[in-house]
Structure 1
Amino acid sequence: MMDPRTSAQDVMRCDLCETAVVQMHCDTCLVNLCTACVGKHMISDESKDHKVVKFQARKSTPLYPGCKFHDKERCKMYCNQCDIPVCHKCIGSDQHLGHKVSEILKVVDERKNKFMKEQTDLNETIYPTHQDIVSDVQNRMSQLEKEYEDLSTAITKHGENWHREIDKLVKKLKAEVDVMKNTQLQTLQKHLDEINKKISDIKDEIDSLENATATNDMSKLFSVTIKIQKYRNLPHKIIPSLPKFSPGNVQEEKLSKLFGTLSSSSLTSDKHDYSMKTTQKSPEAGSSPPVKQLLDEPETVTTIDTGYGRLYNVACMSDEEIWTSGDSNTMKLYSINQGSELKSITTNSGYNQINIAVTKSGDLVYTDDTVNIVKNEKIEEVIRLQNWRPKGVCSTSSGDLLVIMNSDDKKQIKVVRYSGSTEKQTIQFDDKGKPLYSPSSRYLRHITENRNHDICVSDERAEAVVVVNQAGKLRFRYTGHTPAPQNQPFCPLGITTDSQSHILTADCINHCVHIIDQDGQFLRYIECGLRYPWGLCTDTNDNLFVAEWRNNQVKKIKYLQ
């Protein structure tokens, strides 16, 4: 049988007698009472000021806090200066003399309103946002599982290819062994046949001599010719020389480099990457791109003649159009598929060797004595500085501009981040106060931002690619790889990145492009018949565009699967 005192279907009972239906409530003690038990409760603790109300009006009586300094006193006021509840005796004491005091009910109402707002913020914004973050992390984990599975599959496939090639090599070597064996056996067999023929002839001579010595017919005796001398010449001894198999020295480290290596994994933390649910996330907050493997043989897809005397830079406007700049004050927009010039922009300054980039919104930005943006075919000057001249420029994922600045006295180089015309960040020295970049006005520098927000600068004078993180802290310097295709010093010029966070830099004198991973590990060269590569850019499909300085051509190269 269901207990009437604990049944959820039963009415509430008095907390004292536990049988009668609740009709009253003590707001002081928070006790439910029946009418008959009210008096009993009132005298149970006469030290308290019991506030007994009808059950429907429970919690309507303010329950003032007891005073910590005066027994049996209730605090109905609040000292704003001391930030504590106070009773009337406290107010009259020297401790709170001259302090601003408020009614505690007013303070309570203000706090309740504040708590209600915070509760609303927690319920409607913060809690849902954290739920979204949980979903985002779970999605990233699922994506990570898939990408690592794809990576393992790629390694397995590469291993299978190696096994096939090794099997082919073993088969080829064993076939060569069989040919050598058969050739030597045939030679020895021929030699054996000749010796056996000679033995047969010797036996015939022996028989002939025996017959001659046994006959009485002197005519037969004198007809025998002695040929023994030729049989005294023994045959040559043929000694076969066996081939030797010299197995290569299988060292784990060398074998690992030949087979392929893994770049290091990393986890970055950006406290600014998430935003509250009411704020729209940027497109960069999406899932990681699919893993793409490097092609064994990169291939040139398209070649575009630009008509410059010397071609320097290229920037992707879209997957169908590219901007170019060369040894004139005119920048040209080309159709990639048609190879035709679509339009041109002439600078106001008349300078050539202009460094160019394309912003997130699709506007052309270039540097001469100033930094300029072309909007609706009109040139707007956005940055001009005293005692500094802009060189390389790129547009970041956040819409900022990163500009390489060269001082007029040719003694300093720095990278400056701009939001519009406002300077946000300067990157110039490492943790030890030494310059990150080699100062010189004659040598060229290019700049780009990687997917992980690293800032990558090609420093021609230093013969290095200098990579710092988003905060400007040096991560590494890449100084080339040996052997270089032309055995010349590393000459880094144009620089770009792709969806895999690879860093690609043009090596002009070695007629190639270096590919390194985001941690500075060399992966491979791209040659493709390049001659004096200068400017670089990649489109959204990871096609590489190379501006050839001397040939005045832009080559579109596919290098990822």
Structure 2
Amino acid sequence: MSEPSEELAAMQHYLVCGTEDCQKNGQFYCNACHRPLCEQCRDEHLKSPKTKTHDIVLYRHRKQQLPVEKCELHPTRNVDMFCRECQIPLCSKCSTMEEHNGHKFDDLEEIYSEKYALWQGEFSKIQKYFLPTTQDLKSDIEEDVIQIKKIMESIRTSMKSEAESLKNLVDEVTSENIEHTHTMEKSLLKILKSQETTSDDYIAYLWKMSDEFQEYLSITNQKLLFSKTLKIQPIPETTKPVPPVFTAGRFNKNDVTKLLGKVNVPNTKPEKRKIQPMEAESTHMKSTEKQLEQSKEKSDMKQTLSLSSSVTKVRQYSVTGVVNARHVSVDKPGRLWVSDGIGNLVQTDLQGNLLQKIQTSGKEEGYHTATQDGDLIYTDRYKKVIYRITLDRKITEFIKTGDWTPLSVHSSRINGDLLVGMIIIGEAKVTRYSKAGKEIQNIQRDNQGQGLYKWPHYITENINGDICTSDYNKDAIVVVNKSGQHRFSYTGQGSEFIPYGICTDVLGHILVCDNTSNTVDLLDQDGGFLSVILSPQQGVKRPYGVCVDDENNLYVVQQWTKTVSVYMYLQ
């Protein structure tokens, strides 16, 4: 492999030593001189009689330099002392004045450094405790809103169901009662019909008797009248029917309420939401602090870790089961996952052996990430679901994203949170979920209300908690801090910039694939361009995905290939 040009090598210094004509990595800092020093200049600094007593520390542990402020009484002097008795800052010449005779003075820079550290600590508390804790409480409130709406809707459904049941019973009883009236009516009418027939028969009898009597009366033989006995049958008895009487039910609104039930607010005192004390912190914050402390310890053990003057290719292997590589995630147990542009997601070991293969809806985005526990998280853009694959190869539905289509995902190395880049028609956002899958934070707009993202197709997190997103439609790397405040956007070094895969390393560098220039660019933590790590000179063409493992090796996948190349760029 060809070596990088001298120009590229010169650009690969993270922080330049402050010694004149020295261009080495300034990883140390002299608090007396207020300038960065490389390892060699530090040693010389400590050997020199003039500077051997100077306080030299790691750059990140440096004291803040006192801002320059001219003395009002002595404009040629800087204010650099503090009078304990008068409690005022002053210059060295002021300390010789009569009104300060016998007073004790402190180094103002020491006081400033202490105050700066104190305010920095307070700022850190806001970022690491107050904001996350309040956001957790807000999430709890939002969850309660959803839960209350569900409960009330369930109550309304139950009430309607009860009412419907009562209506059905009322209809059933009414129907039975009406049917009973028909039966009663039929029975009564039958009796009356029988009586009516009896009356008809008796009337017919009377008419017959009337005819007979009239015939006898017309006979001239009177002896016959005396020989016949007159006897008329009595009128048949009939009964007047007793009609049914309707007895109305006795009920009122309270009776109906008792039947249907009503909604009551329990006589229970509302429970106060639990706020974890800052001393104890929440589980989420403990995890964050522990991981940050581990990162610090790791950095302390690697005090000389810096960018190498050249990039060395240490391994390359072909991946079975993919058509062309688009994204790579390094698994904790020494395995890695690679995806292509047509939904194939495969797991392979470091020898290139295929371990498992899954068909997904993923395309050209960073839609999978390995967790600290060795699981794999991946998104499904069609089902709008985030899945988890455990070490025993069990696939479970982890998070549903509603109407939003999840594109990219990253598992935080700080606290295990999930960062997910999502889109919906005309909108895009980044959502933070806890390890348990609970929605914590949504990042969508800047302070002016403008949308931060358009197509966040690759995403990662830096060691300071910054969320770094590769946005295809914005042609930019968009970086926000942990609170979601926009910090900067990187738009490349040329006239055109199409960013793809993105990752960060233990030094806070941001590494991003520029698909236009066929390079992997290296940025500092604040978005400043440092160098081109990989270019066509190293045989790189169309880089798509990058990630860094725990041993600081850089993994790169390229378009139209099935290979994963591994590079060493730190020393």
**TM-score under structure 1 normalisation?**
0.49
Larger RCO of the pair (alpha carbons < 8 Å, separation 6+): 2
